[in-house]
Structure 1
């Protein structure tokens, strides 16, 4: 069921790692394939990271096939799920018989205990993130108009951006999943500056709205020993709790950020001085 499994890593595992090692450990690519659901599994917060591209057909969220103890059980038996439509076409998600329409940039929170999830919509591209949950909260569609919005940075520092908080306590209830969308203004390339770390949760970035020849240089590692991964359109990167996460692109772009852990407070982060980085 899972195309790849990513294991939790120690910061010392960055020492001496080749660029290919970094890509193998933290980069998730190839999620969005026509008429397929592609799922990967990360031991960091036990994230399931996936993509669904229904095309002219209908795709069903699979049931567990592994491990044997879970085989046949609904994938969301003890999990919550977020769905974000990053495609340019409208899509529909049917959750236990309830149909929800998602336009571009819309998100959907799907509660623990859901039995069946189906995806349709030519031109829709659904980004999927799921984590374990301890309670079921209401099904909820969230648009950019519903989200709490923050404007950060400036063109002078090349990081003017709008942050849309889609799944956070003041917008949508969840057990541990936090999610949002950030869009950079033309002329800006840095997605967060100054950078930060949050030891109490992992974070996942999906970079998109890039041209075919566009790239993002995603920086990670501990502040005193940074490394980078070169990423293309619709690539995903896993950021462990001990790692800085920030990126700079060849032009402006968008990214979906998702966090899970023991704290739902968006502001729970250790902000770093740029002079600390090396």
Structure 2
């Protein structure tokens, strides 16, 4: 079973007039991980799709998605899959891949239907593609590790880069995740913008009562969303994207847009935030 929700793009002037529920309706995504279902959010920000697949005791197949307008989703798209659960199996292009917890599977354009089985909890990201890049399983040990921050500033963390020019080739999709050390809670601060690319965040490895306050909006007009475990944010290109939690957590970041330069960002001075 595949369920799809569409999120239309809105401008910052419209967003600044929204109340809490309005912000959540446009930018917050929950209920992605339901056993026996594939749940997708089709966004009009660089046409990124995000979602979850939880096969449980059966098998789930991702193939035709009406919103994409092609017989099979991957006819003109690429796919990145992060397993945030126990080890599971993904089949695509006639090959089978054992995807462990924390591993990322990249599937190139034209690979046909994708099937999921086993106890995995698969986070799905898809962006339009104009060429086929090699399908590849990138394990945790294959990822590029970048250690940043400190305990003194409450942001000691490691960034694991998977779909990144120095790790695995993709058409336009960038993807990885950030893990925090115990006692650190701040991510992506100082904040930045990249008007050339949108971004999506999935927050996971949070306890039942733990929350992350995700900050968004123009630097001079910030807003926030309260995030629980396994909930996602659609971050438009005009918005900052940073957050602070009630304890350490992990978040998956993904970008789509004009380029695959991870460092292409416009920094926002702390004094300019309002």
TM-score band w.r.t. shorter chain: over 0.9
| Residue number in structure 2 paired with 1:212 | 208
CA distance in 1: counterparts of 2:133 and 2:123, whole angstroms: 20
CA distance in 1: counterparts of 2:64 and 2:236, whole angstroms: 27
- Aligned CA RMSD, in angstroms, stands at 1.1
Judge conservation of contact 1:3–1:40 (CA < 8 Å) in 2.
yes
The CA deviation at 1:2 is 4.7
| Residues 198-228 of structure 1 deviation map (CA, whole Å, 9 limit, x = unaligned) | 1110000000000011101000001111000
| Residue number in structure 2 paired with 1:120 | 117
Judge conservation of contact 1:176–1:261 (CA < 8 Å) in 2.
yes
Q: Secondary structure at the match of 1:12?
A: helix
| Residue number in structure 1 paired with 2:170 | 174
| Residue number in structure 2 paired with 1:229 | 225
Question: Where in structure 1 are there 5+ consecutive unaligned residues?
Answer: none
Match for residue 200 of structure 1 among 174, 181, 196: 196
Q: Secondary structure at the match of 1:145?
A: helix
Q: Does 1:102 align with 2:99?
A: yes
CA distance in 1: counterparts of 2:63 and 2:92, whole angstroms: 13
| Residues 142-170 of structure 1 deviation map (CA, whole Å, 9 limit, x = unaligned) | 11211111011111110111000100111
Q: Does 1:91 align with 2:92?
A: no
CA distance in 2: counterparts of 1:134 and 1:16, whole angstroms: 37
1:36-185 matches, within 5 Å, as 36-66=37-67, 70=70, 73-87=71-85, 89-122=86-119, 124-185=120-181
CA distance in 2: counterparts of 1:154 and 1:270, whole angstroms: 22
- May I ask how many residue pairs the two structures share in their alignment? 273
CA distance in 2: counterparts of 1:168 and 1:215, whole angstroms: 29
TM-score between both structures, scaled by the size of structure 1: 0.96
CA distance in 2: counterparts of 1:115 and 1:4, whole angstroms: 22
The CA deviation at 1:191 is 1.3
CA distance in 2: counterparts of 1:66 and 1:8, whole angstroms: 15
Judge conservation of contact 1:74–1:114 (CA < 8 Å) in 2.
no
Question: Where in structure 2 are there 5+ consecutive unaligned residues?
Answer: none
TM-score between both structures, scaled by the size of structure 2: 0.97
CA distance in 1: counterparts of 2:65 and 2:121, whole angstroms: 22
The CA deviation at 1:52 is 0.3
CA distance in 2: counterparts of 1:27 and 1:196, whole angstroms: 20
The CA deviation at 1:96 is 2.2
Judge conservation of contact 1:91–1:102 (CA < 8 Å) in 2.
yes
| Residue number in structure 1 paired with 2:20 | 19
The CA deviation at 1:13 is 1.2
The CA deviation at 1:108 is 0.5
CA distance in 2: counterparts of 1:37 and 1:20, whole angstroms: 25
Judge conservation of contact 2:63–2:112 (CA < 8 Å) in 1.
no
Match for residue 252 of structure 1 among 231, 248, 256: 248
Judge conservation of contact 2:42–2:67 (CA < 8 Å) in 1.
no
